[in-house]
């Protein structure tokens, strides 16, 4: 039995805003499934439907073999849900928050301590501190502990690493990999493309539609165009000038450089370099690069 | 059941850790009682009197002595001419002027009677009425003392002020304040407490848990119910020992009516919380829709009987009206419980209705 099955879900809000149009996917037991896309793509709506908080206009969704509409009460007992924004009690201490959520799910901290131990160990020195006074990374770790304390079979994490420093983000993903090994299915969303490769499979979402669902490696392998990266001192003017150049198909910002694809194999990077230098650009470097998930996303989003 | 009590404990933490809210919850009733009881009083006290007479007169002096000796009036000054009255009133130096006719002492025993005029600054109509009533009573008393059993008694209207013989306004305000404070604390605070969970997103997490919505609601209500009971106690103690309002009727009945009313207010708060998503809106909603009608339409300040008919009908729909009425009958008139069965039945029906509606409206999901 699949842990999560989503079948052609449609959802519109009042005022005719289409949040989701025809989303389908399924996740196996113990799978770490990532939903990758920018803000406003419909990730949170999808999570709320899976977590029984919203009703879809069309389509069905089953979690643990149970229907999210008919069996919502049973689902609520066995899933863990961590909403996008920090949703714990700021005026309760770390320990009180965890204890509260443990009791709400009819268990105790002691009973499932082994599940949260790795994460909670880092929080333990601050256990008498109010949750509102924790750093962003610590807050998310506490929220994860609270979502895990009842040993859920499926864990829904809506943008758990947004607003978290890079070190904590890395730690957070390591935790998810460990939890996965314990047989917990994890559905996670993120706007950070670099986190995608840490998932077993990912779905790239744009405007309420999945553009591609596959293993991260397979998605990258499907990228069949030559890809270049260009850097320079005046990065903003550079973007404009590269786009002007005949033969450059699609150029976009990627981190500290610009990535661009070219229309055909006849592209000569040294000709572009010469032209850019003529236009007064300094320290220009052009190199052939391997595509990453972001490049795949940009390519798919363009079509 | 354990998760339920853990939830209740958490709610108490929220209240106890927010010092400012705590202060508001516990001190506001005290401040209101003291404000309404003392400062915003319509009692007659320290009324400054001016006197207008043409000649020194024995009877006039005796009447003035009596007025001055009472705790209500102070004979401030003698005026030379009626033209001064206007100026003195405008300058707020005097509240009332008594003009005595010529040959007052002689005419007191005349069949025609002696002329005496009370001129009052009637910008505050109800106060003016009280002044004249008080002054007339003192004059009448004087007349009776002078001529016990004489035939002129009938001229002075025999006013009997029932239930509140000293016309203490605090008597009237206490039931009103009870209605207002309990409404404010129960309705406003519960609605804010629930909406806060929506606003911070914790409601989302709570919904995706085995907790039943009814448990969430009741757990939210219990702490405010407790606080309200403390407030009820404070208000009663303050009014009995500080404002000296006696509880003439049954204390048990008073508490029972109050508990029903607290439940109504709590479910109103719940109802508000199901309709709005932001704390600030919940606050406005509660204060505009619950507080203002309670103050204006439920007989707290203006008697319901003197309102336009349409507002009177409207006031029947407001729970505080019935509560205040019941408390007045119980506390001040000292009527037995059998006289308030109507109010009790209406309040119970309202409570059941409101709880049903708000539970129905409470959303299991986010939409």
Each residue of B279-317: pLDDT tens digit?
Answer: 888 888 888 878 888 878 877 767 777 778 888 888 888
Which residue segment(s) compose the domain that A178 sits in?
4-215
Q: Which residues contact A208 (CB under 8 A, 6 or more apart)?
A: A11, A18, A19, A20, A21, A23, A41, A42, A45
Same domain? For B177 and B305 the reply is yes
- Tell me: do A145 and A256 sit in the same domain: no
**Within a domain: residue B367?**
no
Q: What is the mean pLDDT of residues A3-10?
A: 94
Please indicate, yes or no, whether residues A54 and A141 belong to a single structural domain of this protein.
Answer: yes
Q: Does a structural domain hold residue A171?
A: yes
**Which residue, of B101, B127, B155, is where some domain finishes?**
B155
Shortest alpha-carbon distance between residue B210 and chain A (Å): 5
d(CA B39, CA A157): 57
Q: Cα distance from A203 to chain B (closest Cα, Å)?
A: 24
CATH of residue A113: 3.40.50.300
B174 and B276 belong to one structural domain: yes
With a cut of 90, say whether residue B18 has pLDDT above it.
Answer: no
State whether A14 and A79 are in the same domain: yes
Do A89 and B202 lie within an 8 Å CB cutoff?
yes
pLDDT of residue A200: 95
Q: How far apart are CA B197 and CA B220, in angstroms?
A: 11
Tell which of A165, A191, A215 closes a domain. Answer: A215
Same domain, yes or no: B178 and B302: yes
Query: Bridge partners of A230?
Result: A258, A286
Q: Tell me, what's the pLDDT at B25?
A: 82
Domain shared by B110 and B188, yes or no = no
Q: How many domains does chain B have?
A: 2
Q: Is A285 exposed, middle or buried (CB count within 10 Å of its CB: 0-12, 13-18, 19+)?
A: exposed
A253, β-bridge pairs: A258
CATH number at residue A297: 3.30.70.2070
* In a domain? residue B254: yes
Q: Do both A62 and A130 map to the same domain?
A: yes
What is the least distance, in Å, from the CA of A90 to any CA of chain B? Answer: 9
Q: Where are the alpha helices (DSSP H) in A2-148?
A: 43-50, 72-78, 94-104, 113-123, 136-148
Cβ <8 Å between A104 and B365? no
Query: Is the separation of the CB atoms in A157 and A179 below 8 Å?
Result: no
On whether both A117 and A53 belong to a single domain, the answer is: yes
Residue B146, domain member (yes or no)? yes
- Do B190 and B303 belong together in one domain? yes
Among candidates A251, A276, A273, A271, which has minimal Cα distance to A262?
Answer: A251
Average confidence (pLDDT) over A113-133:
90
A211 lies in some domain? yes
Whether residue B284 is found in the same domain as residue B136 = no
Contact A85 B201 (CB under 8 A): yes
Q: Is residue B216 part of a domain?
A: yes
Alpha helices in chain B (DSSP H): 2-17, 19-34, 58-69, 83-90, 104-108, 125-146, 169-183, 189-200, 202-207, 213-241, 251-275, 279-286, 292-297, 309-315, 319-327, 341-361
Nearest to B113 by CA among B153, B71, B74, B148: B153
> What is the distance between the alpha carbons of residues A62 and A9, in angstroms, rounded to a whole number?
11
SS3 A79: strand
B140 and B226 together in one domain: no
Closest residue on chain B to A146 (Cα): B205
pLDDT exceeds 80 at position B166: no
- Do B204 and A101 make contact, defined as CB atoms within 8 angstroms? no
Closest approach of A139 to chain B, Cα-based (Å): 14
Coil, strand or helix: which one is A188?
Answer: strand
Q: What long-range pairs does A298-301 form, CB within 8 A, spacing at least 24?
A: A298/A250, A298/A252, A298/A259, A299/A223, A299/A225, A299/A250, A299/A261, A300/A204, A300/A206, A300/A211, A300/A212, A301/A206, A301/A211
pLDDT category, B42, cuts 50, 70, 90?
low
pLDDT for residue B276 is more than 80: yes
Distance from CA of B321 to the nearest CA of A (A): 38
In a domain, B306, yes or no: yes
Same domain, B325 and B252: yes
Pair B89, B128 in one domain: yes
Q: Are the beta carbons of B205 and A100 separated by less than 8 Å?
A: no
Inspect the interface and report whether the beta carbons of A89 and B17 lie closer than 8 Å: no
Domain that holds residue B80: 47-155
Helices A113-123 & A166-181 angle (0-180, nearest 10): 170
Q: Are residues A152 and A48 in the same domain?
A: yes
Give Cβ neighbours of residue B188 (< 8 Å, ≥ 6 apart).
Answer: B269, B282, B283, B286, B287, B290, B291
**A249 and A181 share a domain?**
no
Please give the Cα distance from A80 to A52 (Å, whole number): 12
Contact check, Cβ <8 Å, B210/A106 = yes
Classify residue A222: in a domain, yes or no: no
What is the reported pLDDT for B296? 81
| Chain B residues within an 8 Å CB radius of A100 | 6-7, 10
Q: CA–CA separation, B250 vs B247, rounded Å?
A: 8
In a domain, B160, yes or no: no
| % of chain B beyond a pLDDT of 70 | 88
**Residue A101 Cα, gap to closest chain B Cα (Å):** 9
- The 10 Å CB-count burial string (b at 16+, else e) for A129-157 is ebbeebeebbbbbbbbbbbbbbbbbbbbb
**Chain B residues with CB within 8 Å of chain A CB:** 2-3, 6-7, 10, 13-14, 17-18, 200-202, 204-211, 364-367
Residue B34 token pair? 């003291």
Confidence bin at B41 (pLDDT 50/70/90): low
Inform me whether the pLDDT recorded for A86 exceeds 60: yes
Distance of CA A231 to the CA centre of its chain: 27
Nearest to B14 among A51, A91, A101 (CB): A91
Q: Which of A52, A80, A93, A103 would you mutate first to test chain B, the one with the most B CBs within 10 A?
A: A103
Residue A265 included in any domain: yes
Domain membership flag for residue A15: yes
The residue among B110, B129, B155 that closes a domain is B155
In residues, how long is chain B?
367
**pLDDT tens digits, residue range A265-298?**
778 888 889 989 898 888 889 999 999 999 999 9
Number of structural domains (chain A) is: 2
- Phi, psi of B12, deg, nearest 5: -65, -40
Rounded mean pLDDT, B136-149: 76
Least CB–CB distance from A91: residue in B2, B18, B366: B18
Judged by DSSP in three states, B50 sits in: strand
pLDDT digits (tens, 9 = 90+) for B178-197: 888 888 878 888 888 889 99
Average pLDDT of every residue of chain A: 91
Which chain A residues are within 8 Å of B202, Cβ to Cβ? 87-89
B6, B10, B208 member nearest A81 (Cβ):
B208
Across the interface, of B10, B17, B208, the residue whose CB is closest to A53 is B208
Tell me: do A108 and A86 sit in the same domain: yes
- The dihedral region occupied by A109, where left means phi > 0, alpha psi between -120 and 50, and beta the remainder, is alpha
| pLDDT single digits (tens) B234-272 | 888 888 888 777 777 888 898 899 999 999 999 899 888
- What is the chain B residue with the closest CA to A143? B205
Chain A interface, Cβ < 8 Å to B: 48, 51-55, 72-73, 76-77, 79, 81-83, 85-92, 96, 99-101, 103-106, 146-147
Residues A146 and A176 in one domain: yes
Nearest CA in chain B to A103: B3
Q: Mark whether A197 and A112 lie in a shared domain.
A: yes
Same-domain pairing of B241 and B294: yes
Spatial separation of the C-alpha atoms in residues B298 and B304, rounded to whole Å = 6
A248 in the same domain as A198? no
Q: Residue ranges of the alpha helices (H) in chain A?
A: 43-50, 72-78, 94-104, 113-123, 136-148, 166-181, 216-221, 235-244, 269-278, 293-302
User: Mind telling me how many Å the CA of B9 is from chain A's nearest CA?
Assistant: 9
Residue B49 is inside which H or E element, if any? strand B47-52
CB contact under 8 A, B366 and A48: yes
Of B18, B204, B365, the CB nearest to A55: B365
- Cα nearest neighbour of B4 on chain A: A104
Residue B132 has pLDDT above 60, yes or no: yes
B102 and B231 co-located in one domain: no
More confident residue, A60 or A255: A60
- Do A140 and A199 belong together in one domain? yes
State whether A81 and B205 contact (CB < 8 Å).
yes
CA A148 to chain centroid, in Å, comes to 19
Whether B36 contacts B82, CB under 8 Å: no
Last residue of a domain, one of B128, B155, B182: B155
B364 with A72: Cβ contact below 8 A: yes
pLDDT tens digits, one per residue of B91-131: 888 888 888 877 777 777 666 667 778 888 777 666 777 78
Mutation target vs A (from B208, B210, B363; most A CBs, 10 A cutoff): B208
Distance of alpha carbon A43 from alpha carbon A26, whole angstroms: 15
Q: Is residue A167 part of a domain?
A: yes
DSSP A22-59: EEEEEE-TT-EEEEE--TTSSHHHHHHHHTTSS--SEE
pTM of the model: 0.78
- Of A156-160, A177-181, B184-188, least confident by mean pLDDT is B184-188
Of B13, B202, B208, the CB nearest to A79: B208
Residue B163 counted as domain residue: no
Of A53, A83, A101, the CB nearest to B365: A53
Domain final residue, candidates A181, A215, A249: A215
3-state helix, strand, coil in chain A (%, to 5): 40, 30, 35
Question: Does A172 fall in a domain?
Answer: yes
Model pLDDT, residue B148:
62
pLDDT on residue A213? 94
Dmax (CA) for chain B in angstroms is 91
Return the SS3 of A20. strand
Q: Which residue of A has its CA nearest to B210?
A: A77
Q: Rounded mean pLDDT of chain B?
A: 81
- Residue B274 has a pLDDT of 86
Cα separation, B166 vs B70, whole angstroms: 13
What integer pLDDT is reported at residue A33 of this predicted model?
96
**Residues of chain A with C-beta less than 8 angstroms from the C-beta of B205:** 81-83, 87-88, 101, 146-147
Closest CA to B61 of B94, B96, B104: B104
pLDDT digits (tens, 9 = 90+) for A18-59: 999 999 999 999 999 999 998 889 999 999 999 999 999 999
As for the ipTM of the complex, it is 0.87
The enclosing domain of B119 has a CATH number of 3.40.1710.10
Return the structure tokens found at A92. 């309760």
Taking an 8 Å cut-off on Cβ atoms, the answer to whether A77 and B206 are in contact is: no
Same domain as B102, residue B17: no
For A287, which DSSP code? Answer: E
A–B interface: beta-carbon pairs under 8 A: 78
What single DSSP character describes residue B242?
Answer: T
Give chain A positions within 8 Å (CB) of B210: 73, 76-77, 104-106
Of A215, A235, A262, which one is at a domain's C-terminal end? A215
Residue B217 forms part of a structural domain: yes
According to DSSP, the β-strands at A4-13 and A17-27 are antiparallel
């Amino acid at each position: 039995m699949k842990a999560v099955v989503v079948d052609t879900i449609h959802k519109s809000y009042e005022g005719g805003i289409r949040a989701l149009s025809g989303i389908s996917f399924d996740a196996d037991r113990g799978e770490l499934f990532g939903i990758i896309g920018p803000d406003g793509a419909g990730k949170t709506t999808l999570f709320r439907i899976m977590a029984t908080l919203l009703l879809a206009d069309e389509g069905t969704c089953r979690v643990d073999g149970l229907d999210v509409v008919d069996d919502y009460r049973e689902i609520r007992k066995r899933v863990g849900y961590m909403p996008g924004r920090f949703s714990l009690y700021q005026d309760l201490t770390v320990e009180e928050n965890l204890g509260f959520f443990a009791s709400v799910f009819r268990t105790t901290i002691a009973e499932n301590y082994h599940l949260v131990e790795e994460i909670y160990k880092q929080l333990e020195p601050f256990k008498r501190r109010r949750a509102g006074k924790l750093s962003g990374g610590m807050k998310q770790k506490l929220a994860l502990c609270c979502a895990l304390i009842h040993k859920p079979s499926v864990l829904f994490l809506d943008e758990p690493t947004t607003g978290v420093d890079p070190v904590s983000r890395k730690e957070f993903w390591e935790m998810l990999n460990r939890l996965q090994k314990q047989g917990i299915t994890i559905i996670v969303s993120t706007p950070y493309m670099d986190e995608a490769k840490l998932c077993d499979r990912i779905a790239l979402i744009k405007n309420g539609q999945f553009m591609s669902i596959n293993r991260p490696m397979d998605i990258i392998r499907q990228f069949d165009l030559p890809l270049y990266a260009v850097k320079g001192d005046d990065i903003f003017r550079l973007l404009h000038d590269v786009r002007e150049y005949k033969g450059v198909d699609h150029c976009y910002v990627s981190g500290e450089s610009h990535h661009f694809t070219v229309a055909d194999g006849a592209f000569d990077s040294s000709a572009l370099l010469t032209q850019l230098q003529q236009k007064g650009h300094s320290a220009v470097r052009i190199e052939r690069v391997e595509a990453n998930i972001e490049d795949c996303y940009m390519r798919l989003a363009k079509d | 059941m354990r998760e339920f009590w853990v939830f209740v404990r958490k709610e108490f933490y929220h209240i106890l850790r927010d010092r400012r809210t705590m202060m508001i919850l516990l001190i506001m009733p005290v401040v209101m009682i003291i404000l309404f009881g003392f400062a915003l009083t319509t009692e007659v006290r320290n009324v400054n009197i001016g006197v207008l007479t043409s000649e020194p007169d024995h009877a006039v002096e005796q009447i003035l002595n009596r007025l001055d000796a009472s705790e209500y009036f102070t004979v401030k000054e003698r005026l030379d001419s009626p033209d001064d009255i206007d100026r003195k009133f405008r300058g707020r130096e005097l509240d009332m002027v008594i003009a005595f006719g010529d040959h007052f002492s002689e005419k007191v025993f005349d069949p025609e009677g002696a002329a005496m005029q009370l001129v009052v600054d009637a910008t505050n109509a109800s106060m003016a009425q009280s002044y004249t009533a008080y002054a007339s009573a003192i004059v009448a008393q004087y007349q009776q003392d002078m001529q016990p059993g004489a035939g002129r008694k009938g001229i002075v209207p025999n006013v009997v002020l029932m239930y509140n013989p000293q016309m203490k306004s605090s008597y009237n305000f206490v039931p009103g304040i009870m209605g207002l404070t309990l409404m404010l604390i129960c309705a406003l605070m519960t609605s804010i407490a629930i909406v806060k969970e929506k606003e911070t997103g914790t409601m989302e997490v709570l919904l995706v848990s085995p907790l039943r919505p009814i448990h969430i609601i009741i757990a939210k209500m219990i702490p405010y119910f407790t606080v309200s009971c403390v407030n009820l106690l404070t208000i009663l103690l303050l009014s009995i020992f500080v404002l000296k309002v006696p509880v003439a009727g049954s204390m048990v009945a008073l508490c029972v009516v109050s508990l029903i009313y607290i439940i109504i207010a709590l479910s109103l708060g719940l109802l508000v919380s199901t309709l709005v998503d932001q704390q600030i809106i919940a606050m406005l909603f509660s204060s505009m829709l619950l507080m203002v009608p309670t103050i204006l339409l439920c007989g707290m300040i203006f008697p319901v009987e003197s309102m336009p008919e349409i507002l009177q009908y409207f006031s029947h729909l407001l729970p505080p009206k019935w509560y205040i009425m019941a408390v007045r009958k119980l506390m001040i008139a000292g009527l037995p419980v059998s006289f308030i069965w109507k109010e009790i039945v209406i309040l119970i029906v309202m409570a059941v209705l409101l709880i049903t509606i708000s539970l129905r409206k409470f959303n299991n999901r986010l939409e």
